[in-house]
Structure 1
Amino acid sequence: MDISVYRPGELTAADRGAWTALQAKAHLHGAPQLANPFLSPEFALAVGRYRRGVRIAVVREGGEPAAFLPFQRSAAGVGRAVGLGVSDAQGVVHRPGFTWDAGRLLRACGLAVWEFDHLVDGQRPFEAGISGTFPSPVMDVDQGYDTYLAGLRERSPKFTRTTLAKERKLDRDTGGLRYVHDERDPAALRTLMEWKSAQYRRTGRSDRFAQDWITDLVRHLFHTRTDRFAGNLSVLYADGRPVAAHFGLRSERVLACWFPAYDPAFAKYSPGLILHLRMAEAAAADGIAYLDLGRGRKEYKESLKTRDIRVSEGWVTRRHPVALGHRARRAPVRALRNAVVSRPELFEPADRLLKRVGKIRSGRAAVDKPTKT
C-alpha cells in the first residue's frame, strides 16, 4: 500500500476519474453512503480554492488508486475534514473490501489528529475515535415519487393533507405556482442567501453567509457542473416571485440538502415544505435514489423522512502532544453542545434565548440600515 498526498491542483485527471468511478459504483457494492456529493472530488477541490491547507491523500494498491481522503491541515499537524462545519458527509472513499490503518494514514498525511463531525458509516478503522453518532434523515425516492407520496400519506396523513392543501391555496391566492428544479439565474441564488442570512440572524444563529469563504464556495459550486456532480438550485415561484428556494449538491444518486430558506411573508403557506415535495418529485424523475436532509432533528425533517442514516463525530489521533492538546480544547465544547441539543429541557430554553437575541439583533440591524432618499 502506497500513500501519496497532493495539493488540489496536483491531482491528475486520471485520479479524479478513479475517485468519481468509486462513488458511481458505491451503491452496487453495498456502500451507498460513499456516493454523497460532499465526498466528491469536486467538493474537495472547490474548498481548496477558498481554504488553506486542503490536501488529498491517494492510497494505491498495485499502482492503482484504491482510496481517497480529502482533508485540511494546519502547520502544527491538526487535521480537519474538508469543509468542516459546512460538509455533511466525510470519510475515506474506497474500493470494495479495502481497509486501512488509521495511524499509518495519519502519519503519511503529516497529521497528529483528524477531526470529523459527519463521518459516514462503514469507516471501521476510524470507529475507535467516534465520540457520538447521530441520525441524518433521508427521503427515499428510488421507487418513484408516487411511491414516496403514498408512504408519506400513510406515515403522516395529517401533515400530508395540510401541506398539499396549503400548496393549492398558495396557487389560488397568488395566481399560479411554478417550480424550477435546476434554476440557473444567479439572482435567485442571491435571494436565497439573503433569506438564509436573515433567518440565521432572526433565530440567533451564526450567519454562515457573513463568512466570505462560504459565500464564495457556494457561488463557485453553483457554477460547477459535470456528468455526475452539480450545484443544484431549486426555486418555487408564486406569480413569478420566488417564495422558497434551496441550494444543495447533487451526485449521480444523491441530492444533499444544504441551504433551504423561504420568504417569511409567505410563511402561512409553508412554502419550504411545498418546495421539498417538489424537489422530491423532480429528483425521482432524474434518477436520484434519496435526498439527504442532513444531520439534526427538526420537525419538518421528521415529517418528510422515510428513514435515518447515521453520521458520527470525533477525532482520529496519534500519540502526539498536538493531538492531546487539540482534543482537550475541543471535547468539552462538543460535549456541552450535544448535551443541550439532545435534551429538550435544555434545548428549548436555549433556543428561545437565541431567538430573543436574534430579534434584538435584527431590530438593531433594521435601525442601522440606511434609508433610501
Structure 2
Amino acid sequence: MDITTHGLDDLSDPLRAAWHRTMDESPQYANPFLAPEFAVGVARHRGGARLAVLRENGEPVGFFPYERNAFGIGRAIGLGLSDCQALVHRPGVTWDARELLHACGLSVFEFDHLVEEQRPFGSHVTGTFASPVLDLKVGEESYAEWLRGAYPGLAKTTLKKERRLSRDVGEMRFVYDERDPEVLRTLMRWKSAQYRRTGRMDRFARPWIVDLVEHLFQVREEHFTGMLSVVYAGDRPVAAHFGPTSGTVFAAWFTAYDPDFRYYSPGLLMHLRMAESAGREGVRIMDMGRGEKEYKDWLKTRDLRVGEGFASRPHPVAAAHRLWRRPVRGLRNTVLAHPRLREPADKLLKTVGGMRTSGRAASKGR
C-alpha cells in the first residue's frame, strides 16, 4: 500500500473524481460529511487540514481527510461538527491503522463519529453509540397521506398545528431548497441564541464556523449540496434547517426556530416536512446524528452505530493526549447515557444559560 499526503486547498480534479467514485461504490460512505467538498470547506476556513491518499498499483483507492497540529496530534476532519467520519475506500481495500498514522505524521488520531465498518481502527474504539436514521420511502400520495401512513401517531396533531399556524399567523408553506442567504443568517442567529439559552457552547460565536456554513451553502454538487429548508407562516420564517445532502443521504445538522412560535412545535414540523420532501428528491436516508433526543426516537426507523476513540502509535504525545481527553469524554458520555444524570445536567445548563442571557441583556441596558 502506497500512502501519500496532500494539502486540500488545491485538490486536483482527478483525485476529487476518484473520491466521488469511491463513495458511489461503497454505500456506507455516501454520507455528505465524507465528501471532498466538506473536507475542502474545512481546510479553507480552519488550518491544519490534510488528505492521505492510499494507492494500489498507482491507482487511488482510499481517501483519509484529517486535521493535524504542530505536535502531530490528529483529529477527524471537522471534529465537533461532522456527524460521520471514515477513511473512504473502495470495496476490498485493506489498510493498517499504525501505518496510516505514520504516513500522516500523526502520533494519535481522535474521532467521535466513526463509521462502524472501519475495522482497522476497531481496537482503538473506546465506545460505540447509536446514530438514529430515518429510511425515506415516498410514493405519489400527498404530504398529509404520507404523514398518516408513516407516522399515524403524530399525523393528527401535526396537521392540526400546521392549520393553526396558518390561521393565527399566515399561510404555512415549506421550502425545501431555499436560496436566500438572509434566511441562513436568521437561522444562525436563532441557533446562537438557543445555544446561549441552554448553556451550550455557541458554535456561531466562532467566525470560522460561520464562514464554513456560508461557504457550504454555496456548494451545489452531486455528492454534496448545502441545503437550507424553511417553514414560513406567510412571509415570516418560523423554523429553518441547514445541512448537507449527497445523492442518497440527507444529514440533519443545524435546526432552529423562532421561540415566539414554540407552541406550534416548529422543529417537529420542519423535520417531517424535510423527510417527505427529501424522499421525493430521491434521498433514501435522513441521518439525524448521534445523540439522545426525544424527536429522534419518534422519527427514526433504525440506528446506525458510530465509534469514538483514539487511534495511536507508541509516542509520548499520544499518551499525554489520551490522558487529557479521555476522562473528559468519559464523563460526558456517562451523563448523556443516564437520564437521571442527563436531566439535572440539562436543567443546570439551562439555568446557567438563562443567567448568562440575562446578564448580557442587563449589560446592554446600561
Within 5 Å, which residues of 2 pair with 1:144-155?
A: 144=139
Q: Find out whether 1:273 has 2:277 as its counterpart.
A: no
Partner of 1:314: 309
Partner of 1:161: 156
Partner of 1:364: 359
Partner of 2:85: 90
Count of residue correspondences:
366
Within 5 Å, which residues of 2 pair with 1:110-259?
A: 110-142=105-137, 144=139, 157-259=152-254
* Distance in 1 between residues matched to 2:160 and 2:238, nearest whole Å: 17
Q: CA RMSD in A?
A: 1.8
| Alpha-carbon contact 1:145-1:280 (below 8 Å) kept | no
Could you tell me which of 36, 45, 54 is aligned with 1:41?
A: 36
After superposition, what is the alpha-carbon deviation per residue over 1:250-292, rounded to whole angstroms, capped at 9, x for unaligned? 1111110100001110100001111111111110111001111
Identity between Structure 1 and Structure 2 (%) = 58
Q: What amino acid maps onto 1:316 in structure 2? A: A
* Distance in 2 between residues matched to 1:150 and 1:79, nearest whole Å: 48
Within 5 Å, which residues of 2 pair with 1:9-24?
A: 9-24=9-24
Q: CA deviation at 1:363?
A: 1.2
After superposition, what is the alpha-carbon deviation per residue over 1:125-175, rounded to whole angstroms, capped at 9, x for unaligned? 001110111111111114548699889757864333222221122122223
Q: What amino acid maps onto 1:22 in structure 2? A: T
Partner of 2:320: 325
Q: Find out whether 1:287 has 2:282 as its counterpart.
A: yes
* Distance in 1 between residues matched to 2:158 and 2:311, nearest whole Å: 43
When residues 149 and 80 of structure 1 are mapped into structure 2, their CA distance, relative to the original with a 3 A threshold, is farther
Partner of 1:29: none
* Distance in 2 between residues matched to 1:165 and 1:189, nearest whole Å: 27
TM-score scaled by structure 1?
0.94
Q: What amino acid maps onto 1:361 in structure 2? A: R
Gap runs ≥5 in structure 2: none
Bigger mean CA offset, 141-150 vs 200-209: 141-150
After superposition, what is the alpha-carbon deviation per residue over 1:224-251, rounded to whole angstroms, capped at 9, x for unaligned? 1113311100011101100000000011
| Alpha-carbon contact 1:142-1:290 (below 8 Å) kept | no
- SS of equivalent to 1:9: coil
* Distance in 2 between residues matched to 1:168 and 1:69, nearest whole Å: 48
Within 5 Å, which residues of 2 pair with 1:16-95?
A: 16-26=16-26, 32-95=27-90
* Distance in 2 between residues matched to 1:363 and 1:244, nearest whole Å: 24
Q: CA deviation at 1:33?
A: 2.6
When residues 81 and 147 of structure 1 are mapped into structure 2, their CA distance, relative to the original with a 3 A threshold, is farther
Q: Find out whether 1:7 has 2:2 as its counterpart.
A: no
Q: What amino acid maps onto 2:6 in structure 1? A: Y
- SS of equivalent to 2:153: helix
- SS of equivalent to 1:66: strand
Gap runs ≥5 in structure 1: 27-31
- SS of equivalent to 2:253: strand
* Distance in 1 between residues matched to 2:89 and 2:140, nearest whole Å: 31
Q: What amino acid maps onto 1:96 in structure 2? A: P
Q: CA deviation at 1:312?
A: 1.0
